[in-house]
Amino acid sequence: MIKNKFNRFGIIAICLLSFGYSCAQKNISKNISLKEVYKKDFLIGTALNGRQIEEKDSNAVVLIQQQFNAATPENIMKSEVIHPGWDTYNFDMADKLVALGKKYKIKINAHALIWHSQLPGYVRRLKDADSVKQFFTNHIKTVAGRYDGKVFSWDVVNEALEEDGTMRKSIFLEKLGPDFVTEAFRLAQQAAPNTELYYNDYNIEQPKKRAGAIALIKKIQAAGVRIDGVGIQGHWRASNIPLKDIEQSIVEFSALGIKVMFTELDLGVLPNPWDGDAADVNMKAEYSAKMNPYANGLPDSVEAKLTKGYEDLFKLFLKYKGKVGRVTFWGVNDSQSWLNGWPIPGRTNYPLLFDRNFKPKPAFDAVIKLKK
């Protein structure tokens, strides 16, 4: 239980000598927050679930107000939720999200306008290109148009690339052809002229996929269509963060004249069933105790890796603070993280800056310390 609900963060002791830390106690003031410490550098965001948007999770609401000035909805603006029937739209939760942002002065990044996953069933059953095009057009015009000027930005197209940088084999590619991404941005530009428009994907810091993303962005720009930024999701493992690739991506994407965002940041600490990193929500693996080694708590040695990982990342973000527009954590605290259930349901992961009791972790202190 949290007796005083963040009236006081208390004292966090960090003893990570192997990474150059002194074994000294750090006082975390009740007034210290990520959004304030980094307010001159970039926005600090979080992902919100339904209970948080409706303010039913009081501990989360306190933390959200205190720490974040940007927010992205986890699921409530995806097409299966917001557009469940051909002529049926469900704007209730999205409207509540907009109201929450206004209430707490949080900039809303709407997510995700066009995505091959989490489509409503009727779209997956469409057979002809004309019907898919009609859904595509109506969806963008209606949803993006409703929230123009009410949300700060849109992830217009989400995860349209394969790992080798080629176009993902989706219903949109199959029925509409390779120009569907450019057309999505064209329609979004028309429907939402007062909203920033982004392309969002995972692993686009990796060279092949990055090259594909750069080609995609250049294609949009060459068509005279507006694209304001790119979102690198940042689903990495704490022990294997590709810092050189991330830095090169910041340099190459920003050279296109667009903002670079880190949009779904979390650092997993559990074993990966596959070689390499991935973030495809459809990937699944079988549970085993070996794959859930920290069910009863995180060892100090692993906590140290997580802390060092976040410190290294934020050093890099600060180096390019003129080019990085936002850093969004994919969840408010560890209990909310999708990594507890992906790719293996029932695991206990620790990928964020706040623990399951909403208390700041040593990684939080390390990120704050960089600005002192």
Which amino acid is residue 98, in one-letter code?
V
Provide the token pair at 364. 């939080």
SS3 category, 231 = strand
Asked whether 108 and 152 are in contact (CB, 8 A), the reply is: yes
Question: Residue type at 14?
Answer: I
Question: Active site residue: 183, 196, 264, 311, which one?
Answer: 264
Q: Which residues are bridge partners to 26 per DSSP?
A: 12
Strand runs (DSSP E) across 203-295, as ranges? Answer: 229-232, 235-237, 259-268
Helix (H) or strand (E) holding 188: helix 180-191
Q: What number of residues does the chain have?
A: 372
DSSP state of 357: T
The pair of structure tokens assigned to 98 is: 């907009």
- For residue 159, indicate whether it is catalytic: yes
Q: Are 94 and 72 in contact, with CB atoms under 8 Å apart?
A: no
Q: Which of 159, 183, 205, 303 is catalytic?
A: 159
Beta strands in 22-163 (DSSP E): 24-28, 43-48, 70-73, 107-110, 114-115, 153-158
Question: Where would I find the beta strands (DSSP E) of the chain?
Answer: 10-14, 24-28, 43-48, 70-73, 107-110, 114-115, 153-158, 196-201, 229-232, 235-237, 259-268, 324-329
Catalytic: 162? no
Catalytic site positions: 159, 264
